[in-house]
Amino acid sequence: MASKYTQPANIAAQNQLVQWINDAGMAEGNKKSDLLRKIIEVLLHQASQMVPVYMDNILSYSSDKSTEVKKLVVAFIEEISKLHPQYLPKVIGQLRMLVVDSVIAVQKRAIQAASIVYRNTLIWMCNTEEDVTDLQYVWQHLSELKLIVLNMIDSENEGIRTHSIKFLEEVVLLQTAGDMSDEGFSLDNLPTHLPFIKRKALEEEAEHIFTLLVKFHNSQHISSVNLMACMTTLCLLAKFRPKYMPRVVQALGDLHTTLPPTLSQSQVNSVRKHLKMLLVNIIKHPSSNEMLPQLTQLLLDIGMTTQEINKAIPKERRNKRLGELKSYDAPAKRFRVDSPQSNSQGSDSNSRSDFNFDEDSTSAVLPAPITKATATEETIIEGLDTVENVVKLVMATLVNNLPNSMPDDFIQNYKPIPNSGTKAQKKELAKMLLAVIKNESAPTPPTLIDIAAKIPLLKEDEEKVTLKNAVAKLQESTKADRKVESAVSKLMEETRQDHLKEEERRTKEKEKEKEKQIPPPTPTVPKLKQRVKLLKLQEITRPIPKEIKEKLMIQAVARILNAEKEAAIGGASQIRAKFISIFASSYTPELRDLILNYILEDPSSRIDLALSWLYEEYAFMQGFNRHPVTLQPKVHEKHDQNYNQLLCALITQIFERGEPAIENAKDILLRKIYLEAPLVTDEAVDYLKHLVTEEKVGFLALELLEELCVMRPPRAHKYMASLVCHVLSQNVEIRDMALKLSLKIYGRGTDAVRRTIEKHALLYLGFISLSTPPPELLRGRTIRVPWTDDMYKICLNLIMGLFLEKEELIMEIARVYGCAGAEAKRCVLRAVEAPLR
C-alpha cells in the first residue's frame, strides 16, 4: 500500500517542481528567491531522485543579479555535499566561482559553505569507490579554493577576513593528526591509495596555515572582530590538537602584554573579557595540564583570584597536579639515610645516623659522596631542600628507629614546631644532624625546667602556693605593668597635644603679622561658576606679518615653478598650470613678475602657460571669476589693466629679446599670442601697427592684421583701420601688400569693414585737393615738400582699387576732381583711365 501512494506523491512533487522552475525563470526580486527556496527544499527532501535532472537549473542561477538567489545556490551546494556527495564533481566548480563573486555577502556565504564542503568531500573520498579521475578533479578544485580563501585573509572587508579564519581553522583540523580519543575526522582517516593526496604535504600545509594564523593574531593592525575570531580559532585548535597548546598559550600571553594600538577602550575591554573566557575554557581541558602554571599566571595577570582559578580547574586534575608538584624535578642523586637499628624502648639521644649519597641507576653525573669528614651544615641544608630527600629520611627513620610504643618523655616534652619549613628551622635541624654525624653533643632546645629555673621560687614560710595562686600573681603583675604602660602612653599623648597646640598658636601669630603688612583687598563681585572657555584660533595665534607672508608665498610659488619636470612625470602638468595661472592673476605684483620672468626664460615651451594666464586674467576682467575679498582691486585701478599689461608685456618682451632661441621662434610666438588670446586690446593693435614699420617683421604684422580681421569679425573694423593706413607707406613693398590685403578684405568683409575702408579711401582722395601734402604722406618729416606725381598716385591707389568693386565711387572722384589743382586733375585722369576701360 505504501508504494501505491508513494508514486502519485512523487509525480505531484515533480509536477510542482516543474511549475516552480518555470515561474522562477520569469519572476523577479523576492518572489524568485522564495520560489527557488521551495524548489531546493522539495528537490532535496521529497524528490531526491530528481536531483541530477534539475541540478543544472538551480546552478544556472549562480550568475543571477539577486544576492539572495546566489546565496540560495550556495546553500544548495552545501546540502548536496552532505546528502548527495556523489554529485560534487558537478557543483564544486560553481562554488569556486561564487567564492570570488563581486558581491561581498555572497563571498561570505560561499566561504562559510566551503569549510563544510571541504570536510564532506574528504569524508566522501574515504568511503567512495568513484573513478579516480573524478576524485582528482574535485581535489584540484578544492586545492584552488583553499588557496583563494587563504589569500582572502588580507581582504579589505572585515567579514571576509573573519570567515576566512574559520575556514582555515577547519583546514588545520582536517589536515593534522588527531588523538586516539578524537572521534572526528583527521589526517589519519585520509585514504592512502589515492596518488594525488600526499599526507606529508597536507600536514606541512596545515603547519604553515597555523603559523599564518598566529602571525595574523599578533598583528598590530588587526581589528577587534578579527582578533576575537582568531583567538577563538587558536583555542579550538589547541583543544583538538594538543601539540599546538604551548604555541597558543604563548600567543595569548603576547596578546595580553601587547594589545593592538588601534583598538578603542571599549574594544580593549571586550578583547580582555573574551581572552579570560577562552583561558578558563582551556584550563578546564585535559590537554592543558602541562601548561597549567603558564595559564594560571596569565589568569592572575588578567585579574582572576586564586580561588576562582582553583574553582575552574576540575577537582581530579587539581589533586593530580598537586601530586606532580610534590615530585617535580626529582634529582638524579637520591639522598639515602642508613641509620643503626635502635631498641624497642626508644632511640638514644647519642645514637647517630650515617648519611651516604648512593648513585641512582639513571644518573649520569655523580657528585662526590658526603662522608663524616666532608659533611658540613651547608651540604646538609642542600639535601633538606629537596622534598624527596626529606621524605626518604623520614621514612627510613620511621622504619628503623620507631619504637612500638610511645615513650613517656616524648609525651611530656613534645610540642608542635611553630616555624616548621622555614629557613631557620632547616638550619637548626642541620646543626642537630651534623652533631649526630660527628658524634658531638647535639644542641638541645631549652626545656620547661630551664625556663622555670629562671623564675624565683617562693619561700616555704610564705602562704602555700598553688597553681591558681601563681596564675593570680602573674595576672596582678601583668595588670601593674599595663597600668604603667597606659600612664606612660597617656603622658606622651598629653605632651604631643601640647606641642600641636603650640605649633598652631605660632602659625596663627604669623598669619596675623602677614595680614597687618598686606592691605585689605578691595571688595569684588563674587566669582561665578567657571565655565569651560572655548579657544578660538584668532585668540591663540598671531597673524603672520605681511612681509613674511609675501616672502613665503613667493618661495612656495618658486618651488612649484621649478617642479616642471616632476609634474610632467607625474601627469600633473595641467593642474600645475592652473595653479600657476591662479596665483599669477590673484596675488601681488612681485608674484606676477616672478611668473612672467619664468615664462620668458623659455617662451617656446611655456607659451601655453602664458595663454592660460591670459585667459584667467580675462575671466577676472569679464567678471566670470571673482577675486577674494583680501585681493579686491583698488577703486582707482581699471578692471582690465592687468590683462592689458600682461598681453603687451608678452608681445614686447618676445619681440625685443635677442636670444637666438627666441629669434627663430618670434613669428610663431607672436602669431600664437595674437590669434589665440581671448581679446586683442587697442594697445596691442597699436603695437602691431608699429611693427609694420619694422623691416624684419613688417610683412608678418600685415598678415596678422589680415588674420585678425578675418578671424575676429566683431572687431574687424578696428583692426582694419590699423591695416589700411599703411596704403600710404613710403615702402613700396609694404604699400603694395597693404593695398592688396585691403582690397581682399573689402571683397569678403562685413559692412562695417567695407565702410571703414571706403572712409579711408575717400580721406586719401581728399588729400589731393590740398595745397601741400598732409603729414600722413610725409611720415614724420618736418620739411615741407611740394606735391609730386608719386604722392598723387599713392593717394589715388585705394580709391581706384575700390572703383572696380563699387562704381558709385565715381561721383566722389568727380567731386574732388573739381576742387583739385591742374597737376592733381591730370593725375586723376591718368589713374581713372585704366579702371574705366
Please determine, for residue 302, whether its predicted confidence score (pLDDT) is greater than 90.
Answer: no
Backbone angles phi, psi at 570, to 5 degrees: -85, 0
Residue 447: left if φ>0, alpha if ψ -120 to 50, beta else—which one?
beta
Which pLDDT value is given to residue 4?
A: 41
Neighbours of 717 (CB within 10 A): 19
What would the CATH number be for the domain defined by 30-177+184-217? 1.25.10.10
Per-residue pLDDT band for 601 (boundaries 50, 70, 90) equals confident
Do 633 and 639 contact (CB within 8 A), yes or no? yes
- Residue 337 bridge partners (DSSP): 355
- For residue range 355-381, what is the model confidence (pLDDT) as tens digits? 333 333 333 334 455 566 667 777 777
| DSSP per-residue codes, 748-778 | HS-HHHHHHHHHHHHHHHHGGGSSS--HHHH
Which pLDDT value is given to residue 484?
A: 56
Q: Which amino acid is at 583?
A: F
Task: Using DSSP, state whether 201 is helix, strand or coil.
Answer: helix
In this structure, the dihedral spanned by the alpha carbons of residues 352, 353, 354 and 357, taken in order and rounded to 10 degrees, is: -150
Alpha carbons 499 and 501: distance in angstroms, whole number: 5
| DSSP per-residue codes, 390-418 | HHHHHHHHHHHH--SS--HHHHHH----T
Do 638 and 620 contact (CB within 8 A), yes or no? no
The residue extents of the domains of the chain are 30-177+184-217, 226-326, 335-404+420-447, 545-679, 699-837
Please determine, for residue 419, whether its predicted confidence score (pLDDT) is greater than 50.
Answer: yes
Do 423 and 385 contact (CB within 8 A), yes or no? no
Which pLDDT value is given to residue 474?
A: 45
Neighbours of 771 (CB within 10 A): 7
**Diameter of the chain measured on Cα atoms:** 191
Please determine, for residue 166, whether its predicted confidence score (pLDDT) is greater than 80.
Answer: yes
Alpha carbons 41 and 48: distance in angstroms, whole number: 10
Task: Using DSSP, state whether 436 is helix, strand or coil.
Answer: helix
- For residue range 644-667, what is the model confidence (pLDDT) as tens digits? 888 898 888 888 877 776 777 888
**Of the candidates 403, 388, 386, 394, which has an alpha carbon nearest to the alpha carbon of residue 433?**
394
Alpha carbons 657 and 651: distance in angstroms, whole number: 10
Alpha carbons 723 and 735: distance in angstroms, whole number: 10
Per-residue pLDDT band for 443 (boundaries 50, 70, 90) equals low
Highest mean pLDDT among 119-133, 182-196, 262-276, 473-487: 262-276
Do 285 and 315 contact (CB within 8 A), yes or no? no
Q: How far is CA 492 from CA 496, 499, 504, in A?
A: 6, 11, 18
Alpha carbons 287 and 241: distance in angstroms, whole number: 9
Mean pLDDT of 594-609: 88
Please determine, for residue 233, whether its predicted confidence score (pLDDT) is greater than 90.
Answer: yes
Alpha carbons 143 and 128: distance in angstroms, whole number: 19
77-91, 334-348, 440-454: least confidently modelled range: 334-348
Alpha carbons 169 and 176: distance in angstroms, whole number: 11
> Using CB atoms within 10 A of its CB, is residue 570 exposed (0-12), middle (13-18) or buried (19+)?
exposed
- For residue range 764-783, what is the model confidence (pLDDT) as tens digits? 888 888 878 887 777 656 56
Per-residue pLDDT band for 318 (boundaries 50, 70, 90) equals low
418-422, 748-752, 754-758: least confidently modelled range: 418-422
pLDDT > 70 in the chain, percent: 76
Highest mean pLDDT among 181-195, 216-230, 347-361, 515-529: 216-230
* Residues sharing a CB contact under 8 Å with residue 130, sequence separation 6 or more, in sequence order: 86
| DSSP per-residue codes, 128-149 | ----HHHHHHHHHHHHHHHHHH
